[in-house]
Structure 1
């Protein structure tokens, strides 16, 4: 007997030898449990993961060399760029945030296109000298048309000073008076309505009626008219943004007992009136240095674009449309003139873009240390007109988007998106037509039809879903045709107004184009 002791107790059990053991039949193997199955699955996953790691390691070994070379090159370029910035900062020439065109000009191939435009300008000058020498026997460049277009500049200057003085003092002091009394007044709605009516009346007379009176009464030439009308629109948009951004802030921030209401700083508003943006902010990103050599080069480029446009008009537009003005209006004459005006029209569009959106805005941004230079995007790569409208002029687009499109959606509780977009197009078309009507001195709604009709159709049909490069070709083709239509029709109407004055001043005579019925005979 074998004994098993547990503590103080002793238990006896029989040995297997003492009694026979009954043989049992062989049992079937028990089925695998759930844990065993999971263990096998985990082992399979581990094997597959190990194989995946081995393949990945082999792939990394193969591409390690090219990746290392690329990384070394990137780091070297970054170090060089950082070194240039440090040297520029030490020399007082910190590189500012660049626009798309500035970055493109760093590429030699793109800069060659810029050189080709300069060569074309030199060719215009040489051809003009050659023609004048052959016809008149002298080598003198005359700019009588240019001086006439910018005539009466003293009148333009004092008119601008009057509009600027009002825009600087009027909206700011009106907002200050209203903001100082708003929270302490018992009749906030009446006070707001009276202040808004007073400001709207002042805006209407000073920034509405006064510029029109100056343009019409003094019979300013076209370029001088452009200065006053464009500045009128700029002051209206700036002052509206200033009031629109500050009124909600004043209404929603009630001052504590004994504290004065927080009003915008006068220096911020003064800076806003000159900086190249139409959205008011208390502060903007600033650069620490001014590159005066860059400012000088930019103004020289503006002057070059001005002379470039002058030679395009003198050599490509005026001789053709002056001779066509003695022919009756017909479809054949219109089609020939349209295709003749396509190239000069596109050149003028590119010159206007480069001179204003690139050079002019960058020059003022540099002088004011304004760091945000996103005045336009790569509109030339657009495959849809929807993208073209957003990227062509970002400064104006932002204003229309925030104060036109978004405010319309807010008022309609985001229910009429198409109507909001259509309203923006209508406003933009009306303003463009107003500018051309006032500057040319006649009503010919070419710009309005192109924006409000064709532009709207293209915006909804040639939308952002168009990604193929073919649509970029289509967009450029439409731009060429559109610019040809504008130059052709406006030039024809200009000479028709000269050769066939209106017999009366009735409404229908004022709105009916004279080029439709004028046939001038020398």
Structure 2
């Protein structure tokens, strides 16, 4: 059979039908996709319109705000990074080759002990005072310049007010002359106190040389030891009583009395530090030599050497209260720094005189002529907060920075960490440890360590309480004999409230803690300055009590007034 030409087979027709069907399906899918795209375009247009509404604009503004904050934060971080780099960079020292924060260990002043139950010791090393390093950065130097401007304003204010009121001006000189009156007598008392410390060294040297000549654990040696110990205690008692008697007999003004009493306490702490540090070390060395002699059957005992007089003399003038046979020294004296530091001391004295003349004396010199009202007392305390904190800062800068750095430069004393960054303290525990490192080192070395290691083994609470008690008593002792009355405001605030705040704020480590510290410092300075000023002028304007002894302890400012 022959097939008809031009006719396709069924399989080919089936393939063509399936092909057409697929083509139709693809066209339908394409049209569906095109429709979806059109719908998406319409949705995008709606989104754009929605973005133009109030909510969209608000979202855009928030995003812009976030972007701006991020840029500011980045710039702030860059600035802080630049400051830290400057702190870590090398700076020219005063001959000691110091670098600012050269290592993380630089401002650590304790050397850990390897023995259990023994606390760490003071470590001396070459370093600048913190403000000395910070003032090399222009941002911190500006703060110093602000205080200089305030001094200039106070100077002009004092001059103008004096000229308007009296037609003449004294620029704080009268206040300084009244406060530092009879200063030649102060020099004479100081010379006698300093001379007595040299006599103490002679007696101590005699004890050291004679002790080694006596057999160990014998009655003559015990008599010598206990006799010299009793003599040392009598010396300390006389060293406290005689200068006070001279102050009262000569009737020294308050500031001159403060100078004598502060120098008296300083020398008392130094002599105690010398004997306490040297005597046990000499006795231990002698005991070790004796043990070696007994083991080797050879006499190598010898006498333990007393530190030379030059070491003792240097310690008596060095700006530290912890004794060492040697200290890190600088290579030479920078006389320019010496002159400028002592010039700053004089300028700060005038600064404080201006503050007293402008803010304190006018408000308190007539105190006692009118009844004391609670309203007046509250206003007085709050009005003296700013002058009080200003006097506090001036006292810190004058004594712990300018005077100490001037003395350190003059004596080539290289370790000048007389304070730490107490202004950053977030707790009173940190504040008391950092604001006066010189006194804190003495209290820690000779009071806290002895209490913790010997008297009350490992009792931190009792050791801390003893430190605060000793410090508060001597603070109140200085103020009581300087102003001639016992008004235990400092004793209660420092030894009472201050001790409580140490335990209450010990774990505070946030910015709120620093605000609290500064707020309480301002309030405390206002309370101290206000109450002591009231009592001082009440002693001038009010008649004394009939009993002269009770008159020293009973506040006149509470009861006295003139109608």
> Which aligned pairs between 1:45-194 and structure 2 lie closer than 5 A?
81=90, 84=92, 97-138=127-168, 141=171, 143-170=173-200, 172-185=201-214, 186-187=218-219, 188-194=221-227
What is the deviation of 1:500? 0.7
- Give the 3-state SS of the residue equivalent to 1:511 in structure 2: coil
CA distance in 2, matches of 1:139, 1:354: 27
CA distance in 1, matches of 2:443, 2:408: 21
Q: Which residue of 1 aligns with 2:547?
A: 505
What is the deviation of 1:224? 0.9
CA separation of 1:124 and 1:201: change in aligned 2, threshold 3 A: same
Q: Which residue of 1 aligns with 2:385?
A: 342
What is the deviation of 1:127? 1.2
- Give the 3-state SS of the residue equivalent to 2:552 in structure 1: helix
Correspondence for 1:230 among 262, 266, 271 = 262
Cα RMSD between the aligned structures? 2.3
CA separation of 1:79 and 1:132: change in aligned 2, threshold 3 A: closer
CA distance in 1, matches of 2:456, 2:356: 49
Q: Which residue of 2 aligns with 1:70?
A: none
**In 1, are the aligned partners of 2:456 and 2:462 still within 8 Å (CA)?**
no
What is the deviation of 1:169? 2.5
Please list the CA deviations of residues 344-390 of structure 1 after superposition, one character each: whole Å capped at 9, or x if unmatched: 10000000000000000110100111000110000000000000000
Please list the CA deviations of residues 246-274 of structure 1 after superposition, one character each: whole Å capped at 9, or x if unmatched: 11111111255473331111110000000
**In 2, are the aligned partners of 1:93 and 1:289 still within 8 Å (CA)?**
no
Correspondence for 1:195 among 207, 224, 228 = 228
Correspondence for 2:421 among 351, 355, 378 = 378
What is the deviation of 1:442? 1.1
- 1:488 aligns to 2:530 (yes or no): yes
CA distance in 2, matches of 1:302, 1:331: 38
Q: Which residue of 2 aligns with 1:447?
A: 490
What is the deviation of 1:461? 0.7
> Which stretch has the larger CA shift, 95-104 or 474-483?
95-104
- Give the 3-state SS of the residue equivalent to 2:90 in structure 1: helix
**In 2, are the aligned partners of 1:180 and 1:260 still within 8 Å (CA)?**
yes
Please list the CA deviations of residues 54-81 of structure 1 after superposition, one character each: whole Å capped at 9, or x if unmatched: xxxxxxxxxxxxxxxxxxx99x989983
Please list the CA deviations of residues 18-41 of structure 1 after superposition, one character each: whole Å capped at 9, or x if unmatched: xxxxxxxxxxxxxxxxxxxxxxxx
**In 2, are the aligned partners of 1:268 and 1:283 still within 8 Å (CA)?**
yes
What is the deviation of 1:143? 1.8
What is the deviation of 1:103? 1.5
> Which aligned pairs between 1:403-418 and structure 2 lie closer than 5 A?
403-418=446-461
TM-score, normalised with respect to structure 2? 0.75
CA distance in 2, matches of 1:142, 1:249: 51
CA distance in 1, matches of 2:256, 2:181: 7
- Give the 3-state SS of the residue equivalent to 1:458 in structure 2: helix
CA distance in 1, matches of 2:392, 2:375: 25
Q: Which residue of 2 aligns with 1:261?
A: 304
- 1:289 aligns to 2:359 (yes or no): no
- Give the 3-state SS of the residue equivalent to 1:277 in structure 2: coil
- 1:467 aligns to 2:467 (yes or no): no
CA distance in 2, matches of 1:499, 1:515: 10
What is the deviation of 1:321? 1.4
CA separation of 1:250 and 1:502: change in aligned 2, threshold 3 A: same
CA separation of 1:404 and 1:258: change in aligned 2, threshold 3 A: closer
- 1:367 aligns to 2:410 (yes or no): yes
**In 1, are the aligned partners of 2:367 and 2:537 still within 8 Å (CA)?**
no
> Which aligned pairs between 1:2-21 and structure 2 lie closer than 5 A?
none
**In 2, are the aligned partners of 1:93 and 1:291 still within 8 Å (CA)?**
no
- Give the 3-state SS of the residue equivalent to 2:487 in structure 1: coil
**In 1, are the aligned partners of 2:172 and 2:350 still within 8 Å (CA)?**
no
CA separation of 1:168 and 1:200: change in aligned 2, threshold 3 A: same
Correspondence for 2:237 among 204, 222, 227 = 204
What is the deviation of 1:413? 4.9
CA separation of 1:370 and 1:512: change in aligned 2, threshold 3 A: same
- 1:248 aligns to 2:296 (yes or no): no
- Give the 3-state SS of the residue equivalent to 1:455 in structure 2: helix
What is the deviation of 1:93? 9.8
Q: Which runs of 5+ in 2 are unaligned?
A: 1-81, 100-125, 290-298
Please list the CA deviations of residues 208-240 of structure 1 after superposition, one character each: whole Å capped at 9, or x if unmatched: 111111110000011111111011101110000
What is the deviation of 1:283? 0.2
CA distance in 2, matches of 1:175, 1:430: 28
TM-score, normalised with respect to structure 1? 0.80
CA distance in 2, matches of 1:100, 1:127: 32
What is the deviation of 1:180? 1.7
CA separation of 1:80 and 1:466: change in aligned 2, threshold 3 A: closer
